[in-house]
Structure 1
Amino acid sequence: MVLKLYAVSDGPPSLSVRQALKYLDVPFELINVDYGRGEHMTPEYAQMNPQKEIPVLDDEGFFLSESNAILQYICDSYKPTSDLYPQDPKLRAIVNHRLCFNLSTYYANISAYTMAPIFFDYKRTDLGLKKVTMALEVFETYLKKLGTSHVASNHLTIADFPLFNSTMTLEAINYDFSKYTKIYNWYNNFKKNYPELWKISKDAMTEIQYFAENPPDLSNLNHPIHPIRKINK
């Protein structure tokens, strides 16, 4: 039975899992979740993920949410010897750290500034910009201290995917982060060295840019956490 991935086409967590599956050449069925129609808010979806968040992996009835956990599970279950998720405890700890850093700080602060104002009733504020700057400065410091070509090693790991896709949303809104030279070089080297993986992100970026110019009407979504932006018709 082939893995099933319930995902959205423009969400960084979904993109990261898709990139890992592609890089590892693990067959899977991609099932698009229509966010605008609220397909993730249905009782059926809640049976797979009570958090009603995206993505969700279905491995023959074993449902797993949280993209970090999915990335780790895919490697451990399907490609346990891959360098994408190294076995050495210290090397793996760095990968795990970068995954946690992205979730708690980098993506959390960047997406609140880049993505939330596109889809929900949030404003880009000076405080939000300050948090983005802080996240970039910390990430830049990590790259300088480690001194490797990738975020956790001198080769690609699962930590590169979420950090790359978080950074991609900055490019999507034309935020200039070129002064963070370590981040800027790593980001552009990823594009150059992994064109098939970059295409997944590039297609998503095109969607994000479209929605930034043409905000989607989510008035029927009734989102329990994020306030819905009213669209003038």
Structure 2
Amino acid sequence: MDARTRALEVYVDLMSQPCRALLLFLRHNHIPHTVKNVLLHRGEQKTPEFTKLNPMQKVPVIVDNGFVLTESDAILKYLATTYKVPHHWYPQDPKIRARINEYMSWHQTNTRPHAARVFILEVLMPRMTGNPPDAKKVERALADLSETLDKLESVFLKQQPFLCGDEITLADLLAICELMQPLGSGRDVLKDRPKLDAWRERIKSAMKDTFDEVHVYLYRLRDKARL
């Protein structure tokens, strides 16, 4: 059976950074799929039905002709190697692939938690408690994120167009979706970093309209924060 005719189901919440990275990849590469929305703020990830699918109660999850897979890294690599997509996403060259794996491993303890922490403190916690953000905690979170951004510039991006070389890869999708998340409070963490801001623009250009389509709910949060 051709990969593009398979029945791929995708369980996501568009406010989840890894879910947006997954949908960017699927839509840009025209991989047919059915979206199953799992609204985290309503606790839909804890329902018995979803828990049977993913006992970890997290998104994203895919079901590909009965094959269930969780964890965004594993999902993206699986799709890039199973479906007919351009090789630049996850090249067969072992050294380039190793660089992508290197970033994706580092991402989980650096870019992801540090960018998410800012969003949690400035958006989620105030919504849950009714209290304004804790300024000192936000300051510390921004300092941690700044160190991560320094490493992104000096260790990964360097003078090349994308994190792992001359072409966009899975690493860029995961990274940019995390770094967009603080926009939910109206905070653009890349605007004062010309190198990273230009990198973001290259990703947006590569993904075309799909980038903004996938971030539409985040943009709405940003616009509300500006009022």
- The interval holding the TM-score normalised by the smaller chain is 0.7 to 0.9
Give the fraction of aligned pairs with identical amino acids, expressed as a percent: 23
Q: Pairwise mapping of residues 46-61 of structure 1 onto structure 2 (< 5 A)?
A: 46-61=51-66
CA distance in 1, matches of 2:162, 2:95: 16
Structure 1 pair 207–50 and aligned structure 2 pair: CA distance change class (3 A): farther
- Per the alignment, residue 221 of structure 1 pairs with none
- Per the alignment, residue 30 of structure 1 pairs with 35
Structure 1 pair 116–51 and aligned structure 2 pair: CA distance change class (3 A): farther
- Per the alignment, residue 111 of structure 2 pairs with 106
Whether the 8 Å CA contact 1:56–1:64 is kept in 2: the answer is yes
- Per the alignment, residue 127 of structure 1 pairs with 140
| Corresponding position: 1:85 with 2:90 | yes
| Corresponding position: 1:180 with 2:193 | yes
Alignment counterpart, residue 203 of structure 2, candidates 186, 190, 208: 190
RMSD of aligned residue pairs (Cα, Å): 2.3
Query: Deviation at 1:210?
Result: 5.9
State the Cα deviation string for residues 113-166 of structure 1 (Å, max 9, x = none): 124542235744322121111111111112453x32111121111111111111
Structure 1: 5+ residue stretches without partners: 215-233
Structure 2: 5+ residue stretches without partners: 1-5
Whether the 8 Å CA contact 2:23–2:214 is kept in 1: the answer is no
Whether the 8 Å CA contact 2:45–2:51 is kept in 1: the answer is yes
Query: Deviation at 1:174?
Result: 2.2
| Corresponding position: 1:150 with 2:155 | no
CA distance in 2, matches of 1:29, 1:99: 26
Alignment counterpart, residue 9 of structure 1, candidates 5, 14, 19: 14
Q: Which has the higher helix share?
A: 2
CA distance in 1, matches of 2:23, 2:188: 25
CA distance in 1, matches of 2:59, 2:224: 19
| SS state at 2:40 partner | coil
Query: Deviation at 1:9?
Result: 1.8
Query: Deviation at 1:112?
Result: 0.8
Tell me the TM-score normalised to structure 1 length: 0.82
Moved more, 48-57 or 119-128: 119-128
Query: Deviation at 1:207?
Result: 3.7
Tell me the TM-score normalised to structure 2 length: 0.84
| SS state at 2:68 partner | strand
